[in-house]
Amino acid sequence: MLDLNDVAVFVQVVRCGSFAEAARRLGIPPNTLSRRVQQLEAHLGTRLMQRSTRKLSLTSAGQDFHDRCAEAVEGLVDAGQSLLSRNEAPSGLVRVAAPADFFDFFPMDWLAEFLAEYPQVRVDFVLSDARADLIADRIDVAIRGGVLEDSAFLARRVLGAGLDGLVASPAYIAARGLPATLQDLADHDCLVFAHPSGRATWNLSAHDGTDAEVQVAGRLSGNTVQVLRKAALAGLGVALLPSTMTRRELCAGLLIPVLPQYHRKGHGVHLVYASRRHLPSAVSAFIDLVAGKLGDAEDLPLATVGAPA
């Protein structure tokens, strides 16, 4: 008779992409999981997985078997977890991948409130502007901006796209003059994302819906929007920044609009996580925290994290 526990192990390994990640999530040694899958293959009389040191892939029989049983297995797991979670407080480790300057925009006080509410939860932040591999880096949830690549991961939007606009400091405009046309930007220092050439292409849209493209360059570049924002405030050039980042400075007169008839559509922010179902309660609680806080905030530059400029 088919052992449903072996089937559940097989589904979990496929969902996690490796025996190591499945073992971490289940709290079971990888060799035990491998043995259970081998038992399942022996019972079915066919190989379900091709294993190597670098990756795991399904055979055609394994793919068919997974497609037919995964939803039923996950439904049973969800049903059991739903009953258990009624009496269990969130607990355990949540590993989070976020941009290097994440805590410039996400107050540590918010995290302190979360940890006070859930004393059995631990949070491990992996801060880097490089895009994390959720499976290989054992990430439970990643905070990502820009256009999402197609994947099997689940993404929850927490900030809309918004618009990017051109800005500069009053001191810079006093020294260099206010550009009257897009072509005038060629004679200005523009703050761009890092590139060996020091140049960038800004693709903009006018209020009448027409598109325009301009080549710009400058003596200062950086790999985060926060660097470009601070450079603009310091009078080092014209920057193309999200309105969520510059609204307060524009109101305070610390920055002024440049060619306000032009804008660029920004990029939203998403929470990305590997599991489509049966999220650990601690991960689910953290996702709700970030979604709630960022969704309620009005002035956050996260809307362009990871976006090219």
Do domains 4-85 and 163-265 share one topology? The answer is: no
Gyration radius of the chain over CA positions = 24
Instruction: Calculate the average pLDDT of the chain.
Output: 82
CATH class of this structure's domain 92-161+268-304? alpha beta
Q: The pTM is what?
A: 0.56
Per-residue pLDDT reduced to its tens digit, 167-191:
999 999 999 999 999 999 999 999 9
Per-residue pLDDT reduced to its tens digit, 192-240:
987 777 788 999 999 888 999 999 998 998 877 888 999 999 999 999 9
Q: Does the CA dihedral 107-110-112-114 come out positive or negative?
A: negative
pLDDT of 148: 61
d(CA 107, CA 112) in angstroms, rounded, equals: 9
For residue 15, the SS3 value is helix
pLDDT of 302: 41
Domain boundaries, the chain: 4-85, 92-161+268-304, 163-265
State the average pLDDT over residues 102-130. Answer: 90
pLDDT of 62: 87
d(CA 131, CA 144) in angstroms, rounded, equals: 8
Q: Provide the CATH number for the domain formed by 163-265 in this structure.
A: 3.40.190.290
Per-residue DSSP letter, 1: -
> Would the pLDDT of 276 be above 70?
no
Of the chain, the percentage scoring pLDDT greater than 70 comes to 84
Lowest mean pLDDT among 144-148, 156-160, 243-247: 144-148
CATH of 4-85, one of 3.30.420.40, 3.40.50.170, 2.30.110.10, 1.10.10.10: 1.10.10.10
Neighbouring C-beta atoms of residue 159, cutoff 10 Å: 22
Neighbouring C-beta atoms of residue 13, cutoff 10 Å: 25
- Residue 271 makes CB contacts below 8 A (sequence gap 6+) with 141, 142, 143, 144, 155, 156, 158, 287, 290, 291
Q: Is 172 left (phi over 0), alpha (psi -120 to 50) or beta?
A: alpha
> Would the pLDDT of 308 be above 50?
no
Rounded (10°) angle between helices 4-16 and 19-26: 110
Of the chain, the percentage scoring pLDDT greater than 90 comes to 34
